[in-house]
Chains A and B, each alone.
Chain A
């Protein structure tokens, strides 16, 4: 039962991150996912200090705000400070993350978050933290509800905004020309990334969040030329990663998050080497993975 719960949680995180990751990769914004997953830290610490509780809704809202704020600073430095986009991303998220770390250490006594947990998470504890109703009924792990809710939110977002997201990703100039706001959709996407990141954070840690944001989508990208197929493959790859990651960890008696990261990297390597589409390896390496 515990194995099932952990694999299920891992899969939900992988799917949520992966679906957004597809858009990030095609927008050549993989680094932004990286940045946001770090820079939401001060937001959640401040929310925690102010509210004095680890209420999930509050955390998600704090993360959304910090994420949008991060995106805004990156855009600002890039457009008005005329800093290259990778430099703006690097500067922004490192100092925000640093503020988060300082806050945690300064208020160590009060904050029930520690740096190891933020970076590495602990998915093994998922089954331990159950949601128990007033009358004592065990409804299963709390984490499952949170990530489940976020996944539904992300799916809803992609379904209603599919054509806007697709078009602003492929051809932003044409999108603006026909009156679709590129900026609005950019910020909405970043809001989703922030919420997803924070919901996944505690479960799997920042490193696996980044791996899940990028690796399954990148793997799927190597395997298909169709966008909908790419979304679908990302979901499958996410589930495979979670499943085999769990058993790898079991086998070597190691960290589950670590094992899942390793598997996601491994699957990418396999796709990279053996993608059935001939010549694709060279082509994609050249054009597909600019990180900004």
Chain B
């Protein structure tokens, strides 16, 4: 099942990615419309991170192409924000919160330009949006997991892009942070920004996203949440994982999606 839309901000055509000849993404064809808050859903090892990384040009593509705003990434880099998985960096690194958020401005600065006052303003504003302005001079080694995630988000916001790719921004964060982040993302989407989020909690997924991409090496389905988030597609995505499947059907029977418990 697939959806045809006009003027997609992200268009992926026949994408195949392999790691030492083993296919991790196979023939993925998908689009995401402007202003959507889209979830990329699939089990562990489904290739969700790889999909985001290939969009960001971080892994070589075996075949296919990716267009953002109908262009190659190179031409629109300044318009694209990226939030890597939180665990991908060393949080003991000697840097302060504002140092990290300022990195969001580097793409706009160019070689040998130091950040200017205006860039500082943008960075501080981004910190305010995620509720971390009080922590701006903290060293990042002193932050909790949820605070680290907020800093990463602030860095992405400081990029002032029109499309955002986020890898598991809710992994290991506290409930308050999760709520803060999702409402911020909804706000951004309302302003016409496009947000693409890797997510693996099926309970919250249908509440969070208005567009979904169900992935398990191959694309299972993509489209508006109410059209693709159904029993059949989820079974196909998650295969024979029984406990999970019974959970899903319970979820679908109730059609009620309780909020996730805080850790």
Binding site for B on A (CB under 8 A): 26, 82, 160-164, 166-167, 169-171, 173-174, 176-180, 221, 224-227, 229-230, 283-284, 287-288
Contact = CB atoms under 8 A, between A and B. Distances in A.
Contact of A171 (B88, B107, B142): B88
A173 B53 CA distance: 9
Contact of A179 (B20, B74, B84, B88): B74
Interface in B40-91: 53, 56-58, 74, 77, 80, 82, 84, 88-90
Given A163-B109, A170-B89, A173-B58, A224 B103 contact: no
Nearest to B85: A173
Contacts of B92: 283-284, 287-288
A167 B93 contact: no
A270 B201 CA distance: 48
B99 interface: yes
Interface string B99-119: 110010011010110110000
B89 A171 contact: yes
A287 B89 CA distance: 12
B5 interface: no
Interface centre among A160, A161, A167 (most CB of B within 10 A): A167
B249 interface: no
Given A171-B103, A225-B139, A177 B112 contact: no
Given A173-B88, A288-B92, A178 B141 contact: no
B95 interface: yes
A174 B90 CA distance: 13
A174 B94 contact: no
A176 B57 contact: yes
A225 B94 CA distance: 4
Given A179-B74, A226-B139, A227-B99, A167 B94 contact: no
Contacts of B155: 174
Contacts of A225: 94, 139, 141-142
B57 A174 contact: no
A174 B141 contact: no
B203 interface: no
Contacts of B82: 173-174, 177-178
- Majority DSSP secondary structure for residues of A touching B: helix
B57 A227 contact: no
Nearest to B161: A178
Contacts of B57: 176-177
Contacts of A288: 92
A274 B91 CA distance: 23
Contact of A160 (B53, B99, B112, B141): B112
A244 to B, nearest CB: 26
Contacts of A169: 93
A224 B94 contact: yes
Contacts of B100: 170
Given A160-B112, A225-B139, A227-B99, A179 B107 contact: yes
B94 A227 contact: yes
26 contacts: A26-B90, A26-B93, A160-B111, A163-B103, A163-B106, A166-B95, A169-B93, A170-B95, A170-B103, A176-B56, A177-B77, A177-B82, A178-B77, A178-B82, A178-B106, A178-B107, A179-B77, A225-B142, A226-B94, A226-B139, A227-B99, A230-B94, A284-B92, A287-B90, A287-B92, A288-B92
Interface in B139-196: 139, 141-142, 155, 159
Interface centre among A163, A164, A171, A174 (most CB of B within 10 A): A174
A281 to B, nearest CB: 13
Contact of A177 (B58, B89, B111): B58
Contacts of B90: 26, 170, 287
A227 B111 CA distance: 20
A26 B111 contact: no
B18 interface: no
Contacts of B77: 177-179
A167 B58 contact: no
Nearest to A227: B94
Contact of B93 (A82, A164, A170): A170
Contacts of B58: 173, 176-177
B95 A180 contact: no
Contacts of A174: 82, 84, 103, 155
A227 B95 CA distance: 6
A82 B84 CA distance: 24
Given A174-B155, A177-B77, 16 more contacts: A26-B93, A160-B111, A160-B112, A163-B103, A163-B109, A167-B103, A170-B103, A173-B53, A173-B56, A177-B80, A177-B84, A178-B107, A179-B77, A224-B94, A226-B96, A283-B92
Given A163-B114, A221-B94, A227-B94, A171 B84 contact: yes
